[in-house]
Structure 1
Amino acid sequence: MGATKSRSFRRRIGGNATPMRSYRPVLRGIKLLSSRSKSSEGGGRRTIKVGIDQHGLNPLQLTPMALLQWAVDHGAEGVQFSGFDSDWQRRMEVPYLKDLRAFAESKRLYLEWGGAEHIPRDMTTWAHRDLFASNQLVAAQAERLGSGVVRSCSGGLMRWNDAAPSTETLLRDTASALMAQRDMLRDHGVVLAIELHFEFTTHELLRLFEMCEAIPGDWLGVVFDTMNVLTMLEDPVRATDRILPWVVATHIKDGGIRVVPDGLETFPTAVGDGVIALVSVIRRLASSGRQVHLSVEDHGGTFHLQTKAPEFLAKFPDVTDDEMADLEALAMRATRSAKCIPTDRALWPEICEERMGRNLTRLKALVAELEVA
């Protein structure tokens, strides 16, 4: 793929056909930080690496190599890739993967791969799908990259969609599909990490892992999204405690929650502008004894939760009065904060680069304070 390395492919990652561009830094006043951790060079205590998730920068239409360069230029210490559409997957040949790995290793970046799925259903028709071949492809790619993690995401499934099969049905389907992939994932030496998205709560993922006869650190794990759990009516700190042994990767995303006439509304914010107890979450992750990287994710938009409707709350059978009280307390804090406000999704392409750079700077400063303490 010699010529491939120097040109921009005419396909946007995970989207419609548009020109992709190579990265040229747009700094806009963001202070650059060294991507190398000083304390990691001399050994000793394990340091926490702070990187980025691909999703927040999707509007820039960066090639995978350009995304790694953006990470270096902005002081990120690694990249978690969200996944690629079918056209891009065909371009992920062995030479290109080798180049990505060599670049990452030369810059001491962690790599976490994406593109796996765990719900064996078409998200529009709900027809059954076989995920084995596609997951085997991304597992093999992760192995070539030297990445032990493959992120799995359910896509656009929202738990409260009445057209979707029941949660119990999806749990059974998912367990059956994943059990068939266990040996394959072990053979490639990767953990399939299910993102805490909008289909399963931490309670249900624990049940899923039991159904799969899995143990932490083997072939299944979790991408812990600090803000998505709010949308699933889980307090982020409580959710961390429940699922901690299974966390192998993260989406560190601050956010808010506020009361609306028929329930609650959740939304991401810049790091430090929301009400999520990121310090408490990160302390717990650091105490796990495992190397869990902190990958910043961010985006615009809001999520509307009709919690005053009994039929909506019935879809969350594990939520307790105590945890709802915690969420209501967070909503009161958010209401009192002038900074804890949502971002219009339509504006995200204009601000994504500045905001992701700001998130990195703030999160690295927060982690540095924790490491000193």
Structure 2
Amino acid sequence: MLRIGVDSSKFGVVRGRPAVSVVKRAADRGLEGVYFRSVLELSPTLEAAEVRDVMQAADDLGQRIEAGVGKVNPFATPEAPEIRALGEGDYLRGMRRMVEVAASAGIRELWTATANYQFRLSGRYAYDRFRTDVGWDEQLAATERLLRKLAPVLRDLGVHLNIETHEEITTFELVRLVEAVGPDVVGITFDTANVLMRCEDPVAAVERAAPYIRATHVRDAALFFTRAGIARLLVPVGEGVLDWDRLLAPLVGRDLMLSIEGIVESTRGEMELQIYDPGWQEGHPDLTLAEAFEVVRLATTYADRVSDRTAAGREQLHSAVGEPESLDFIDRSAQHLRQILTRMGEGEPTLDRSWTA
């Protein structure tokens, strides 16, 4: 059965708070679990006993816990020195330690991703996909090699590394990675808004990835035409361009958590598709006209809603984001998801509990 949780990385102002307090906060808001982006949020020193204590506290509150480990693209690992430190200089050893501690506490669905997005930059070079020092094909090949090195310990522990549909990678590429390394050890974390950044039709993307989806990040998106192409900003579930009934249909009946990834730190995750740039176009060999046109249609439909004043405009979405806005984003998303799941026969909506912001 699908349950509704929250991603810890954008759950109001929770950085630095003990994991147990984050779990309690989720329970108090009527949510059913927390997707911690890193196992180190459960124990900064990676103490197995400390992680187990968090898991016990979560179980007492009826909360599901999922967690993540480091990036699996060797060309992105220098941006995670804390994992190399865990392995005393050996990144792969640090990853294995994280996987082993997570598995010992019963966490066997682990988040990972392939690269990063540089918010301080603009244009296509903000995406690691378009690095010129190392091509994307080379990055994917190196990622596959690293996953193969991790595969034996993953199999021994019964763990999946679930690669996110992050801003830089397509579902076509993810499916190929999963099938190359083995779906018994690699899966997909499906991010509903990120697939738009590769100009994929979200419904086609979820159907393509569905056999391997083992975790999710859920949020909606507003699309705006720009001189360079199309800009995406994040909005609560049900308020953007995504067709949630069709997106969730392939996932109904599964034991999955719909982890709401919110907004925080004065940003609504604005990114741009530079669809008019020939270099951008050449960098998407799997992209079809049908899916690209669907994204254009979604942007056109959203523009009509802005004109009708039934959807938020770009200027409005550029307003400051603080903790109240971050929490409201999550609450509105959860409410809409409950309505959809109830309609789909995925159980009664969770009763809201009292809370203080």
Q: TM-score range by the shorter chain?
A: 0.7 to 0.9
Aligned partner of residue 37 in structure 2, secondary structure: coil
When residues 340 and 165 of structure 1 are mapped into structure 2, their CA distance, relative to the original with a 3 A threshold, is: farther
Q: Is the 8 A contact 1:256 1:268 kept in 2?
A: yes
Q: Is the 8 A contact 2:217 2:260 kept in 1?
A: yes
1:366 to partner: Cα distance = 1.9
- Which residue does the alignment assign to 2:193? 227
Cα distance in 2 for residues equivalent to 1:185 and 1:160: 27
Q: Deviations over 1:67-94 (max 9, x none)?
A: 1001110111111111266x98543422
Superposition pairs of residues 209-224 of structure 1, within 5 angstroms: 209-212=178-181, 214-215=182-183, 218-224=184-190
1:146 to partner: Cα distance = 1.4
Q: 1:324 aligns with which of 292, 300, 311?
A: 292
Answer yes or no: is 1:311 the counterpart of 2:283.
no
Superposition pairs of residues 232-243 of structure 1, within 5 angstroms: 232-243=198-209
Cα distance in 2 for residues equivalent to 1:371 and 1:294: 16
Q: 1:142 aligns with which of 102, 124, 136?
A: 102
Answer yes or no: is 1:293 the counterpart of 2:257.
yes
1:63 to partner: Cα distance = 2.2
- Which residue does the alignment assign to 2:301? 333
Cα distance in 1 for residues equivalent to 2:228 and 2:163: 30
Larger CA deviation: 59-68 vs 176-185: 59-68
Superposition pairs of residues 183-262 of structure 1, within 5 angstroms: 183-212=152-181, 214-215=182-183, 218-262=184-228
Cα distance in 1 for residues equivalent to 2:138 and 2:242: 32
- Which residue does the alignment assign to 1:103? 57
Q: Is the 8 A contact 1:275 1:330 kept in 2?
A: yes
- Which residue does the alignment assign to 1:73? 28
Q: Is the 8 A contact 1:52 1:76 kept in 2?
A: yes
Aligned partner of residue 261 in structure 1, secondary structure: coil
Q: Is the 8 A contact 2:3 2:258 kept in 1?
A: yes
Cα distance in 1 for residues equivalent to 2:302 and 2:285: 26
Q: 1:369 aligns with which of 340, 343, 349?
A: 343
* Structure 2 unpaired stretches of 5+: 85-89, 118-126, 348-357
Aligned partner of residue 180 in structure 1, secondary structure: helix
Q: Is the 8 A contact 1:56 1:356 kept in 2?
A: no
Question: Could you tell me which amino acid in structure 2 is paired with residue 254 of structure 1?
Answer: D
Larger CA deviation: 333-342 vs 219-228: 333-342
Q: Deviations over 1:1-47 (max 9, x none)?
A: xxxxxxxxxxxxxxxxxxxxxxxxxxxxxxxxxxxxxxxxxxxxxx3
When residues 113 and 311 of structure 1 are mapped into structure 2, their CA distance, relative to the original with a 3 A threshold, is: same
Q: Is the 8 A contact 2:223 2:230 kept in 1?
A: yes
Larger CA deviation: 240-249 vs 114-123: 114-123
1:294 to partner: Cα distance = 0.8
1:313 to partner: Cα distance = 1.1
Q: Is the 8 A contact 1:159 1:315 kept in 2?
A: no
Q: What percent of counterpart residues are identical? A: 26
Q: Is the 8 A contact 1:160 1:312 kept in 2?
A: no
Q: Is the 8 A contact 1:143 1:188 kept in 2?
A: yes
1:345 to partner: Cα distance = 8.0
Superposition pairs of residues 248-287 of structure 1, within 5 angstroms: 248-286=214-252
Q: Is the 8 A contact 1:167 1:200 kept in 2?
A: no
1:98 to partner: Cα distance = 1.8
Larger CA deviation: 339-348 vs 326-335: 339-348
Aligned partner of residue 273 in structure 1, secondary structure: coil
TM-score of the two chains, using structure 2 as the length reference? 0.82
Q: 2:143 aligns with which of 167, 174, 177?
A: 174
1:246 to partner: Cα distance = 0.6
- Which residue does the alignment assign to 1:22? none
When residues 259 and 71 of structure 1 are mapped into structure 2, their CA distance, relative to the original with a 3 A threshold, is: same
1:362 to partner: Cα distance = 2.1
1:95 to partner: Cα distance = 2.7
When residues 107 and 271 of structure 1 are mapped into structure 2, their CA distance, relative to the original with a 3 A threshold, is: same
Question: Could you tell me which amino acid in structure 2 is paired with residue 98 of structure 1?
Answer: R
Cα distance in 2 for residues equivalent to 1:235 and 1:320: 10
TM-score of the two chains, using structure 1 as the length reference? 0.79
Question: Could you tell me which amino acid in structure 1 is paired with residue 164 of structure 2?
Answer: E
Question: Could you tell me which amino acid in structure 2 is paired with residue 298 of structure 1?
Answer: G
* Structure 1 unpaired stretches of 5+: 1-46
- Which residue does the alignment assign to 2:124? none
- Which residue does the alignment assign to 2:355? none
Q: 1:112 aligns with which of 53, 66, 71?
A: 66
Larger CA deviation: 223-232 vs 146-155: 146-155
Aligned partner of residue 239 in structure 1, secondary structure: helix
Aligned partner of residue 134 in structure 2, secondary structure: coil
Greater RCO structure (CA 8 Å; 6+ sep): 2
